[in-house]
Structure 1
Amino acid sequence: MSLQNGSERGGESAVDRAEQGLITTADGRPCCAWQAQMPDYHDHEWGRPVVDDRLLFEKVCLEGFHSGMSWQLIYNKRDNFRRAFEGFNFHRVAAYGEPEVARLLADSGIVRNRAKILSAINNAQRAIELQEEAGSLAAWFWQFEPTAQQRPASVDLHYWQQVKTSPQAEAMSKALKKRGWSWVGPVTAYSLMQALGLVNDHLDGCCRRVECEAERSQLMRPG
């Protein structure tokens, strides 16, 4: 996900915020600049902890479709993806065969990439195996949450622009690939960690950073 500075009134302070990758919303909240493009996702989802297996699988699939494409494009098609993949019920998706693949390839509401569609079906099958292995998908994925000491002292614009993965994301990617998952490279794995709330990468100064951190601190980790 790329940060783009939104236009804003406010003179010198607005310039300072833009240099920090922040904007001020119409109701006066300081937020990551990309909030202007996807306010609901920024405010209510991204960085907030996810422990529901169905939703977790949805995010894995959408991050796979996101690879090499704009996240905003995928996000705008999310309802279509949910319809096409039966709410991302991975037990149902795991049973898909050529008739379902043909249906999905004919669906103009989603990204019609055969390799990514087959990957979603494969990953649904692997998700069932992983759920049986670990008890839940959430229990397995959350083991890769970095410790406070492994996180940066400051999540600033420089960090955002430079860091695309992490040792924990690389370990997650390697472990998933070993179990037969696809479209789960280290960059995708780190993006998934952000989406699942395993890390809180809202920028310093963003009002949602504090809220996400509070939710993370109160979360009972699965396991």
Structure 2
Amino acid sequence: MDSLNTIPAELDHLIITVPDLEAGVAAVEEATGVRAVAGGSHPGRGTANYLLGLAPTGWADGAHTYLEILGPDPQQETPADGTLPLDAHLADGLTLQTWAIHPHAFLAKIAGANTAGIDFGEVRDMSRETAEGELLEWRLTSRSPLPHDGAQPFLIDWGESVHPAEAALPALELLDFRVESPAPESARDVLEVLGAGDTTVVQGQKPRLRARLRGPGGVLEF
């Protein structure tokens, strides 16, 4: 990846999906030397997460986002319909599956996407308790299957909740982030409408995400 790669200013977080949370957390720690901390469970969804802070290259000091490691929650039953969020990819090992952006004008971006005919799914209200017992509430766009195999971000609005990255999370450096697409110009147009027009988009055989995360123990690359 080249030094001209731009990490979008509205990046909220990256999501890694794993088939087993403990094993996934251990694999990230082995690669980077940093262990994620428990985030919380998603009641009724069958999943839970662990979190790491991210310090993106090129951002101002103190500005940060986060990494979510998402997998089946061993304390929950599988949902009644037999599926989990991002279920099709939970058996693939460590997968950089999708990403979220937090545009300042959430509803305006939704309206713009509707006008432009961008299929982002539906807006859903969600919540979870943190490991400390605090309630987080947010709304996001949700579509299954993921638009463009997860290369198109979903939009998120944290409302009055404290953003997860504001917690004292152990952190990794986010060295590079980019989107690959077989139709990069079209992908750039969609990202512009959604509010992430400064994202680096390059030609690729299929939609996918690329990133490099660095800790004191090494680099984890997708």
TM-score above 0.5, yes or no: no
Greater gyration radius: 1
Q: Normalising TM by the smaller chain, what interval?
A: under 0.3
* The structure with more strand, counted as a fraction of residues: 2
Instruction: Provide the TM-score with structure 2 as the length reference.
Output: 0.26
The answer to which structure has the higher helix fraction is: 1
